[in-house]
Amino acid sequence: MDAETLISAALREAGYGPDAIGSALPRIMRILDAEDVRVAVGRSLSRKEREYVRVQLELGLSVSEIVAGLKR
């Protein structure tokens, strides 16, 4: 089971409806992806780097693409 399915099921079990899950799930997944970027880089990110990661995730870039951009 992937993370999105697991989180969706947990929110449903906690009593959240489809509308709440649909609006919260994309944000939760971006948070998890941002943490994946931090782990891949191997250090804490500066405020400017965190903003860069947030924008890139909203644009639909993958974690590996964002990490490559940060390592330039």
Give the span between the Cα atoms of 46 and 4, in whole angstroms: 27
What local confidence, expressed as pLDDT, does residue 71 receive? 87
Per domain, the residue ranges of the chain are 3-70
Q: Which amino acid is at 19?
A: D
Select from 53, 51, 47, 46 the least CA-distant residue to 67: 53
Question: Which tokens hold the place of 61?
Answer: 């870039």
25 touches 8 (CB < 8 A):
yes
What local confidence, expressed as pLDDT, does residue 8 receive? 96
What local confidence, expressed as pLDDT, does residue 40 receive? 95
Report the chain (72 residues): mean pLDDT per 10 consecutive residues: 92 96 94 94 94 94 93 84
What local confidence, expressed as pLDDT, does residue 1 receive? 73
